[in-house]
Amino acid sequence: MTDPIRHLAAAGRLGRFYVDGAWRDPSGRERAAVIDPATEAPIAEIALGDAADVEAAVAAARRAFPAWSRTTPAARAALLDRVHALVLERLELFARALSAEMGAAITYARTAQVPLAAAHLRVARDNLATFRFLSQRGTTAIAREAIGVCALITPWNWPLYQITAKVGPALAAGCTVVLKPSELSPLSALLFAEVMHEAGCPAGVFNLVNGTGPVVGEALATHPEVDMVSITGSTRAGVLVAQAAAPTVKRVAQELGGKSPNVVLPDADLARCIPLGVAAAMRNLGQSCSAPTRMIVPRDRLAEVESLAEATAAGFVVGDPSDEATTHGPIANRAQFDRIQRMIRIGLEEGAKLVTGGPGLPEGCDSGLFARPTVFSEVRRDMAIAQEEIFGPVLAILPYDTVEEAIAIANDTIYGLGAHVHGTDLDQVRRVASQIRAGQVHLNAPDWDPQAPFGGYKRSGNGREYGREGMEEYLETKAILGYYR
């Protein structure tokens, strides 16, 4: 069966949580509809948890932690290997769930959302195989030990991808987890819980409780038996989690908002880098925290940049996400759609030059949460569309006169998550990249690297995900003096 909703309904998963190795009924009766953003029609109903559900899940994770943290790396790697294989085996089921719950174009779900999510599991397995949990420094042993019970709070925009980016390294480190996926895109999380069960995950090592941030998220952040919270979400949500976690002095890792720059240097090949930059900004409908939505370009080449950007956007196919010809489906939810429309109108009011797109539904779309791929030019760095995270298919082109000015523009936000630099002179590209205050910088559109650590400077958060550094977030450091003689 490749229909995820029928699959989950038939198995009785939609109204239940996965706790202590079993599917369990929720404590309360609160429910939430899952909305298809292409039609705005409800397609499923899930249970929403409360503090009692969190208590049960955390207790299960705490009971499981001593045994799981003492398992061998080989045993943990074997579990991750089975989970990785099962995710790929069910690629079509996951892809259809992602398309239904958050509007991902089915081809994009198949070729990006699911395979990239699976890669995080493979990387966690591979890093675990070579990681030194005990090292020598003189006569002292440096031990890296699992931090404990981890609450994992994941967003709606890359639902499966962010789950595996947290669950994989947390389990590899020897931690036990309680996952709270977004209540707006919960279907792929329920499917993932099935995979964890079928892979033979020991009871209590992985737990899932659906619910809202103010209820389940807060209960996890304040719980004294939770040792760490890892959250991917808005900067506002990250601040609230950190404040809630502070009294219990737990570790908080935050991957938050962004307004990433794409610096196009004077010698860049525009015919190559502008289409790539537009595509990167609008990948996943721009609903990516690291999307390079500020394109910073030489003023004397602005007209050429505008023409290339307009042509690239014209090639996008916005429509039914189940249609294999569609490149861009709907915005994931009504609140985000309304924000995008408001920010596009603000851009017009601020006097930015509209190159293509604009407010309203795209041609051929009479209903649903579809947005027009929009490009603004002649954007000033003080405009709202240059400073605020829009989280949609809206690109701002900002001109510069000198490379020093370009770097200043790139750094002129409260965020510092990602950045891109394009140019022919690689030494200059590297010099510019070294001056950008961001946690990850892409030079000349390289291939995605799941081993590259990802995280933010400034208000884009703290801590790192992906690669070896992603696993180290879930480890404590213990010095044992006199261990070696």
How far, in Å, CA of 448 to CA of 120, rounded? Answer: 12
Distances (CA, A) of 337 to 20, 355, 360: 37, 20, 10
Distances (CA, A) of 104 to 14, 137, 167, 379: 21, 49, 22, 29
Judging by DSSP bridges, how do beta strands 261-264 and 294-298 pair with one another? parallel
Which three-class secondary structure state does DSSP give residue 132? coil
Identify the H or E element spanning 403: helix 403-410
Judging by DSSP bridges, how do beta strands 394-400 and 415-416 pair with one another? unpaired
Q: What are phi and psi of 322, to 5 degrees?
A: -80, -10
Cβ neighbors of 87 (< 8 A, separation 6 or more) are 94, 114, 117, 118, 121, 160, 164, 192, 195
Report yes or no: 228 and 150 within 8 Å, Cβ to Cβ. Answer: yes
CB atoms within 10 A of CB 317: 14
Report yes or no: 204 and 176 within 8 Å, Cβ to Cβ. Answer: yes
Active site residues: 255, 289
